[in-house]
Amino acid sequence: MRTTTSSQRHDIAALRPPAGGGPGAVAPRSGVPATAAGPVPGGARRISLPGDPRAAATAREFVRGALADWTAQELPGTEGLAGRLADEAVLLVSELVTNAVVHAGTAVELRCRLDPGADPEPDADPDGPDGADGRGRPGVVIEVSDHHPARPVRGREGASLSESGGLGLLLVGAVAESWGITYRRAVKTVWFRLAVAAPGGGGRPELEVSFDDQMLQRGLRAAELLAPAVRRTTPQRHSAADWINPGALSFLAEASDLLSGQLDADQVAALAAQLIVPRLADWCAVWLYDGSGGHGEAQRLAGVWHSCESRIDSLRTALEREPPVMAGRGAPVTGSANNGSAVSWPWPQEPSGYGPGGAALACPLVAGGRRFGMLMLGRAGLMWFPDEAVGLIEDLCRRVARAIATARAYRRQERISQVLQRRLLPRGRARVPGVESAVVYEPREGAWAGGDFWDLFEAGDGRWCFALGDVCGSGPEAAAVTGLARPVLRLLARDGFGVAEVLDRLNKTMAREAADSVAAVAAAVAAAGAGAEAPVEIRDEGEQARFLSLLYGEIVPYRGGSGGARCTLASAGHPLPLVLGTDGAVRVVAAPQMLLGVVEDATYVSESFDLLPGETLLCVTDGVTERRSGRRQFDDEDGLAGALAACTGLAADATADRIHRAVHAFGPTPPDDDLAMLVLQAAPRE
């Protein structure tokens, strides 16, 4: 038996597929079944295999099918493809594909072809590569390629099983007539050639390789080696360390990137389990606390994953029957469990468990001094996890815990935002006799609470009041101003104050609140030793939120069934309201005035007009008028008036919906500001 490398007579370049993949090439797709190509020129066959545990079985079936097809076609040199050669080809392909999946972790390309052989040179050594025992006879050439060329091939010739972690190239060297390894920029290929037995049965030696665990014996048939082997129970610390070290940093970086994008704790748990399996373990489970992680809380099994999907349910059942107990919550594990250190854990008694089990670890998920749950994982065939693996797992668990903490904080803020929005906005709008109304309210994407607000309520004495406001700023500070403005408006209106008087009083209230805020900031600066003359500037949104733009008015329907209504309104730093006539003409019905909260002694004036039957009053916030598309705004060149004119003849709801859609369609991205609209339409005469 001879072994060659890519620099010897069997040049691997001659065995590679043509550039571009050839007509039968199939692109690898991880996680999907392999797709075999048909025959390609030269009698070669190719297949792309996903990098998962099913790849080896698919490869065996593919090779047996190719050999059987060639034999059925009675191609030259196929007389000896059945029997022992087929068994050995299947064995070697199974080992090489398994090694590629486990150690390279990428998709695998498999190619096999018939080699018709060549006539030996007259003076060739009969035992040489070109002699009677070499390429002179027909044979089968098989290539296994992965996409991790920097990852060394496992099972180096001369290494023991405890060092190599598997049969790998030891079997190739023992069985193949010649073999080699080729490294390219993006592909690593291991190839071997099996020669067809010489006529009369000579020339094929028996297997004479001895392995540490006595798995191969003299004369053992290749078919027997394909039976499931008992997993090794001896410690494999060295090989496991080799398995962990390559790519650890890139794995953690990839995990951090994926985990940081999740804003749901259960999604983080599920993703963490799938990141770990099968790269670091055969199975993984994640428990989470639903509260703050106190001792009295129950934990729940949030995610379970297994390399064999059919065993997930049985593993879940076993883990739910005997859940882990954290330190301080019943029987203690170890003191290290409180600071995020991993500890050994008994292998779960899974009903469908295989072999002698393996090593399991439990690692608390700790971030910011709080425990959010526990992650448990196991790898079959190990007595314990090596230190390198434990360190990597602990680092990953810290990242998982931080991602869970972030997701919990996001959910908490989201709940606060929802409650706050419900409190800040009216539960409904009043029905005004003879006047239809429509409202659009849309906080900007990702905002906890919108700075825009609206209201439409009955003020008594046949009056209905409406308001559309926009706090300068966003977030909790803007919501606090909204929470102040809307109740004050209602209180003043129901006390009988007119439109201008309401704005005067609200302005004084906001200006005094702002003055108190500035005084408090100045006092804090002085107390900190900055000096009495230290300037206090308005820099952040919290300070800006003391200003309010507001469109406020009242509407009084005409009595006697004549239709229409009398409107009185004022605009304090707000986009001016528009009225759409029945003839399609659009007019402005207010004059601009100062923002509320800027000057305490500012006075406001109101304007009155008739809203005739069929006419429509449109009030919007600057989220509509200042909607951007590049350098253009929606209201440039009277864009809002044009959009309103296009709504002639539409009801109030249809008008609001059309303008809303026009605002969204104006730019390629979602609006980056709160958006609110109020439409009032006097019922047309019948």
- DSSP annotation of 13: G
Class of domain 425-682: alpha beta
Please, are residues 285 and 323 in contact by the beta-carbon 8 Å criterion?
Answer: no
How much is the pLDDT for 545? 53
**First-to-final CA distance of the chain:** 104
Tokens (6 digits) for 72 = 């059925």
For the segment 61-99, what is each residue's pLDDT rounded down to a tens digit? 899 888 888 888 877 777 777 777 888 888 888 888 887
Nearest to 473 by CA among 307, 620, 673, 632: 673
Map tokens 């496992």 to a residue: 154
Bridge partners (DSSP) listed for residue 358? 380
**pLDDT tens digit sequence for 608-632:** 999 999 999 999 999 999 999 989 9
115/102 Cα distance (integer angstroms): 30
Percentage helix, strand, coil, to 5, in the chain? 35, 20, 45
Which pLDDT tens digit goes with each residue over 257-290?
788 778 888 888 888 888 888 888 889 999 998 7
Compute the distance between CA of residue 170 and CA of residue 466 in angstroms, rounded to an integer. Answer: 85
174 or 252, which is more confident: 252
Ranges 268-272, 332-336, 431-435, 642-646: which has the least confidence: 332-336
* The two structure tokens encoding residue 229: 């082997």
Query: pLDDT tens-digit profile of 166-191?
Result: 456 666 777 777 888 887 877 888 88
Kindly report, as residue ranges, where domains of CATH 3.30.450.40 are found in the chain. Answer: 241-416
* Mean of the per-residue pLDDT values of the chain: 74
Mean pLDDT of 244-253: 67
Q: What is the mean pLDDT of residues 518-522?
A: 49
Strand partners, 194: 140
Q: Say what the pLDDT of residue 648 is.
A: 95
Q: At what angle do helices 84-99 and 55-72 cross, to 10 degrees?
A: 150
Backbone angles phi, psi at 71, to 5 degrees: -65, -40
Q: List, by residue range, all CATH 3.60.40.10 domains of the chain.
A: 425-682
Q: Which residue has the higher pLDDT, 60 or 680?
A: 680
CA separation for the pair 609, 593 (Å, rounded): 18
State mean pLDDT over 599-611.
93
Q: What is the pLDDT, as a whole number, of residue 10?
A: 32
- CATH 3.30.70.890 corresponds to the domain 241-416: no
SS3 state at 317: helix
Q: Give the tokens for residue 268.
A: 């983080």
Range with the poorest average pLDDT among 69-78, 401-410, 521-530:
521-530
pLDDT of residue 524: 52
Q: Could you please report the per-residue DSSP string of 392-447?
A: HHHHHHHHHHHHHHHHHHHHHHHHHHHHHHHHHS-SS-PPBTTEEEEEEEEPPTT-
Interstrand relation of 578-580 and 452-460 (parallel, antiparallel or unpaired): unpaired
Does the pLDDT of residue 296 top 50, yes or no?
no
Contacts of 14 (CB under 8 A, 6+ apart): none
Q: Give 595-664 as a DSSP string.
A: PBTS-TT-----EEEEE-TT-EEEEE-HHHHT-EETTEETTTTSHHHHHHHTTTT--HHHHHHHHHHHHH
Q: Which residues contact 530 (CB under 8 A, 6 or more apart)?
A: none
Confidence of residue 292 (pLDDT cuts 50, 70, 90): low
Q: What is the mean pLDDT of residues 233-241?
A: 42
Task: Write down the CATH number for the domain with range 12-229.
Answer: 3.30.565.10
| Average pLDDT score over residue span 123-141 | 55
Determine which helix (DSSP H) or strand (DSSP E) holds 68, and give its type and residue range: helix 55-72
| Bond preceding residue 278 cis, omega within 30 of 0 | yes
